[in-house]
Amino acid sequence: MLHSAMVLWIGLAIETHGAAADEPAAGASAALRLEDGDRVILVGATFLERDRHHGRIEEALRARFPGTKLSFRDLAWPGDTVAVQMRPLDFGSFESHLRAQRPTVVIVSYGMTEAFGGEKARDRFLADYRKLLDVIDKTEARVILIGPHRHEALGLPLPDPRRHNENLRLYSKAVAQLAVERERPFVDLFEQFELKETPPIAYPRTENGIHLSDFGYVEAAGVIAREVGLLAPTWRIDLDASGKVIDAAGVAVKEIERADRSLRFTAIASALPPDMPADAPPSGEWKRPEHVLSIAGLPPGDYALRIGGDEAVVASAARWQEGMSITRGPDFAQAARLRDAIRRKDRLFFDRWRAHNGEYIYGRRAKAGGNNSGNPAFTAEFARLDRLLEEADRQLDELSRPEPHQYELVPR
């Protein structure tokens, strides 16, 4: 398939940071590597813009590079197309704002709206997209192209998406064509992100067929990470009752102690799990973020697992031998704090970049003269916002780094 052949032409080194789980897309020979100082910019329309309310794409990529000094800025704008980007008076050009952010990686996604134009507008879409990429290429940033996802069928009174999906398939292939031309990686959300085209749908990924829910963004972000060759975070430990480590994936195990029928050890995850979406399907309908711990050879009876002193799960010796799923604990709490911090940072940047009182900052009322001229305090206020954003980036770098936690299995 074209998308897998093009997953990452960019000459970037493989980077797994100790995480091992789902294989990257077939044919991927290298993975996106983010390093200290990288700034990732999102450019596109509503799909990328709405993620500032969810923080899922940044969450997914940061999880693959825990502790790395990164910054993410969302320059996407709702309703944009590759040809038409309406902005307030004197707001500034797309190129000027992009250059001001000093990008090293640019993630670009268009096509959902343009696909309503059908096959007759496809060539114009390609021509306009090439012009936009010419502007982005001036920054010399690494570029990743994301195709549009499907239109989910939620049934009446919402429209039948079949015609739109026929066109979205064409436009997804058009973006894939651009990826080949530009020798850029391509993320094929149309084929790789499961959105059903026939109702009924028990657990939708969208709110209205097009705009993703939080659950939808979790899944889409996972696809994006996988399609650029990044392994999914995982955590699994297999022990025996003596404390011997049989196997461990995505986690380091140390300081193992055994006393009577109890077992104590310290574990440090290679990467945080994704924060659980509130609108996720019930257990059994969707593979939830989890840690899996198995302990073989325990004497019969029930055992409780405590993490940092708090009881997380209780099960019989037989079930511990099979492997128990852990879906709460300090790693999951840290993941929730990380995502909350991402969303707060995104709101700060929104206020910095798209201030609601822009008429007084760069518009007509910012001009000298008259009682409505711009506020002289804006310069200092913007400088303070910039400092807050830098502080937020540093906090996110630290929050993305998993911490060591003590695990203790004790008889009940």
At 274-304, the pLDDT tens digits run 999 999 999 888 989 999 999 999 999 999 9
The better pLDDT of the pair 241, 375 is held by 241
pLDDT band at 369 (very low <50, low <70, confident <90, very high): low
Cα separations (Å) of 278 from 100, 134, 212?
Answer: 36, 40, 14
Give the span between the Cα atoms of 238 and 236, in whole angstroms. Answer: 7
When pLDDT is averaged across residues 95-123 and rounded to a whole number, the result is 97
pLDDT of residue 24: 36
Average pLDDT over the chain reads 90
Cα separations (Å) of 171 from 66, 176, 225?
Answer: 35, 9, 21
Within 274-402, residue ranges assigned H as helices are: 317-322, 330-353, 358-361, 378-399
pLDDT of residue 127: 98
The better pLDDT of the pair 29, 37 is held by 37
The better pLDDT of the pair 166, 355 is held by 166
Place of tokens 């310290």: 266
* 230, pLDDT greater than 80: yes
Which range, of 129-138, 271-280, 314-323, 356-365, averages the lowest pLDDT? 356-365
3-state secondary structure (DSSP) of residue 327 = coil
| pTM metric for this prediction | 0.90
Which residues share a beta bridge with 283?
A: 286
Cα 389 to the center of its chain, rounded Å: 19
* 20, pLDDT greater than 80: no
Do 210 and 151 form a contact (C-beta atoms < 8 A)? yes
Residue 66 DSSP label: T
Do 139 and 186 form a contact (C-beta atoms < 8 A)? no
* 189, pLDDT greater than 90: yes
Which range, of 55-69, 92-106, 276-290, 324-338, averages the lowest pLDDT? 276-290
Rg for the chain, CA atoms, rounded? 24
Do 74 and 49 form a contact (C-beta atoms < 8 A)? yes
* 13, pLDDT greater than 50: no
pLDDT of residue 373: 63
